[in-house]
Amino acid sequence: MVCSNKLRFWIIVFLTVACTVWAGEVTIKNLVFPNESDNSYVELVPEIPLNLKAFTLCMRVATELQGKREIILFAYRTKNHDELNVWRELDGRLSFYLAGDGVLFQVPDLGGLETHLCVIWDSSSGASALFVNGRRSLTKIYSKDHTIKPNGKVILGQDPDSYLGDFDIKQSFVGSISDVNMWDVVLSDGTIQDIYTEKRVPRGNIFDWQSIKFNINGAVQVVDRDL
Amino acid sequence: MVCSNKLRFWIIVFLTVACTVWAGEVTIKNLVFPNESDNSYVELVPEIPLNLKAFTLCMRVATELQGKREIILFAYRTKNHDELNVWRELDGRLSFYLAGDGVLFQVPDLGGLETHLCVIWDSSSGASALFVNGRRSLTKIYSKDHTIKPNGKVILGQDPDSYLGDFDIKQSFVGSISDVNMWDVVLSDGTIQDIYTEKRVPRGNIFDWQSIKFNINGAVQVVDRDL
Amino acid sequence: MVCSNKLRFWIIVFLTVACTVWAGEVTIKNLVFPNESDNSYVELVPEIPLNLKAFTLCMRVATELQGKREIILFAYRTKNHDELNVWRELDGRLSFYLAGDGVLFQVPDLGGLETHLCVIWDSSSGASALFVNGRRSLTKIYSKDHTIKPNGKVILGQDPDSYLGDFDIKQSFVGSISDVNMWDVVLSDGTIQDIYTEKRVPRGNIFDWQSIKFNINGAVQVVDRDL
């Protein structure tokens, strides 16, 4: 295929401008949890209270932990209760718990390459599902008519068995987490695929990773990455 | 981001035309290392000295070596020191070493089908990661504030334990390598995905495979391929 | 991003029409070899003589044969010589033989889900490689300067140890084969990926499956499928 150098030059100029304006890059934070601990965690500050009849929670997560090891991926706890915990279970399944027993999904295991993970739940139907790298899991009915209570703390890296305490090193997160976004509605499959492929989508109204405020505790490192 | 409908229309028309004219093929060199040796290697001639506080290094690599076998993927050595070595470790993990101990990543093993592999490292934060077929690994903090020294030799195929010598046949590369490109900055995730899918991207300023100069030693064969 | 419903409607109409016209579905034949035999085979009638200094051969193939079993995938033989045989070897490797010893590739095994397989070979350099579902294998140098001779017979399903005879039931093909296309040149990586993803590409000038003529022998069934 023939293409003059001059034409090529202008195509490059145009594409560069068009792409920068249109689909451009974003620099975001990547949280690195370098090793097992019972004191390293990151508290995320939500934009609105977590008073929820539905949610979509997404994150990019990579870990080299393998085999029989529970891994906490997200924990939201009020004074006396766990409100929303996302886990990698002992047997590799992924799960979340709103109160009491959780709902578990048999999906490909997490690993050293980043997985884009989303969790959806809607109180009115109880419909819950995961999205792993944009692919939807089967749907399970879970905690119909339940409401998540506000005024707790959201943390990454540890599972609090009391309010911000009683951490178990054998449940701690090791690896990297970034791009944690949360909405108080269930997003469409197409929108979740767009988030996975890094197209611009409506920002999370609970957590928007591009503007999120968080507090670091222990040996967590924060590095920039360009999506 | 706002974009008028009219502008959109013209962008689509332009992109369609541009892509048709341009997206065309590129002929590049493929280096074939047909068997184990302690004398076959290819020296790559860089465009600028490797005086580096950050880099992105990408290549397409396929090998049928399996099991407990170290495989050297890239070696940059100055007179008395290894400066940057990329390895497939005995246990299948991929790694790189800037000086002393390296950083290892548990990712899918190399194999007989080509893997597109990129390594990124940034001295200011120590953030390092791999990209395997466009998918990012977890991030690890490694060699913060280190600088890679210039005026050495870059070779493919062998691990030099002295300056261009002391090769170990049991670490040699067997298979094919091509499309080796290197930048003195960390590219964005999106750009690395574009490289993987063979979209046109900014050329490597250290190595640009389309115009690279190299010197063949031993039984390495060079064949053309059209991307 | 805002986009009026009316404009959306017309974009959808346009894309639908364009895709239907352009990349739309094609009904092709699928050859089903229901069981082991030493007499079921399909002879393909080439458009031009197989007087070849280079080729690309692609097919979609699925089989439930497993373990230690040779499987013939394609056989071209002149009066007294095998000219081009493609095999699944006893150990699962894929291979092809132009004359005498063949060239073998360690790639993922065939299975019950269709594999899109392409073989490329170029006499001038000897460069040969496979593409499995669009992914390129390592490159091997094989039969440099050789020429494939014309005026033989191409068959699927059996390996002829004499001219259209001496079939071995333990090498016969069981499963389904379709979309067999062949060119007298090496196609680019990008074109082969387009064939895999069923985009329209230049038709095979030796075999074009959409217009191919073939002769059925034995218990081979021919069914339609829509790509």
Task: Tell me the per-residue pLDDT of C104-135, one tens digit each, with 9 for 90 and over.
Answer: 999 999 999 999 999 999 999 999 999 999 99
The model's pTM is 0.85
Q: What is the ipTM of this complex?
A: 0.82
Sign of CA dihedral A28, A221, B93, A71: negative
Name the residue among C1, C3, C127 with its Cβ closest to that of B223: C127
Closest CA to A172 of A34, A32, A30, A38: A38
- On the question of pLDDT at B32 being above 90, the answer is yes
Task: Tell me the per-residue pLDDT of B6-26, one tens digit each, with 9 for 90 and over.
Answer: 666 566 555 544 444 445 678
Closest CA to C222 of C38, C23, C76, C40: C40
CB contact (8 A) between residue B188 and residue A112: no
CA–CA min distance C137, chain B (Å): 4
CB contact (8 A) between residue C140 and residue B226: no
CA–CA min distance B137, chain C (Å): 21
Q: Give per-residue burial for B75-95: e unless 16+ CB within 10 Å, then b.
A: bbbeeeebbbbbbbeeebbbb
Q: Find the residue in B nearest to C194 (Cα).
A: B227
Instruction: Provide, as residue numbers in chain C, all residues whose Cβ is less than 8 Å from the Cβ of B198.
Output: 189-190
**C contact chains, 3+ CB pairs < 8 A:** B
CA–CA separation, B198 vs B208, rounded Å? 14
CB contact (8 A) between residue B5 and residue C7: yes
Confidence band for B131, pLDDT divided at 50, 70 and 90: very high
Contact call for residues A226 and A90 (beta carbons, < 8 A)? no
**A contact chains, 3+ CB pairs < 8 A:** B
> Quick one: pLDDT at residue A7?
63
Confidence band for B129, pLDDT divided at 50, 70 and 90: very high
Instruction: Provide, as residue numbers in chain A, all residues whose Cβ is less than 8 Å from the Cβ of B22.
Output: 1, 3, 8, 11
Contact call for residues C37 and C147 (beta carbons, < 8 A)? no
Mean predicted confidence (pLDDT) in C24-44: 92
CA–CA separation, A75 vs C204, rounded Å? 57
Instruction: Provide, as residue numbers in chain C, all residues whose Cβ is less than 8 Å from the Cβ of B2.
Output: 1-2
Alpha helices in chain C (DSSP H): 5-22, 189-196
Name the residue among A3, A63, A198 with its Cβ closest to that of B24: A3
CB contact (8 A) between residue A62 and residue B141: no
β-bridge partners, C103: C96
Tokens of A139: 């749907």
CB contact (8 A) between residue C125 and residue B34: no
> Quick one: pLDDT at residue B100?
86
Q: In chain A, which stretches have pLDDT less than 50?
A: 1-3, 17, 19-22
CA–CA separation, B183 vs B196, rounded Å? 15
Confidence band for C32, pLDDT divided at 50, 70 and 90: very high
Q: Is A68 exposed, middle or buried (0-12, 13-18, 19+ CB in 10 A)?
A: exposed
> Quick one: pLDDT at residue B5?
58
CB contact (8 A) between residue B138 and residue A175: yes
Size of interface A-B (CB pairs under 8 A): 93
CB contact (8 A) between residue C139 and residue B2: no
Contact call for residues C72 and C173 (beta carbons, < 8 A)? yes
CB contact (8 A) between residue B223 and residue C4: no
β-bridge partners, A60: A116, A178
Instruction: Provide, as residue numbers in chain B, all residues whose Cβ is less than 8 Å from the Cβ of A221.
Output: 125, 141
In 10 A of CB C183, how many CB atoms? 23
Which range, of A102-106, B202-206, C16-20, C210-214, averages the lowest pLDDT?
C16-20
Closest CA to B134 of B154, B120, B155: B120
**What are residue C171's phi and psi, to 5 degrees?**
-120, 0
**B contact chains, 3+ CB pairs < 8 A:** A, C
Mean predicted confidence (pLDDT) in B155-160: 97
CA–CA separation, A222 vs A124, rounded Å? 38
**Identity of residue B194:** D
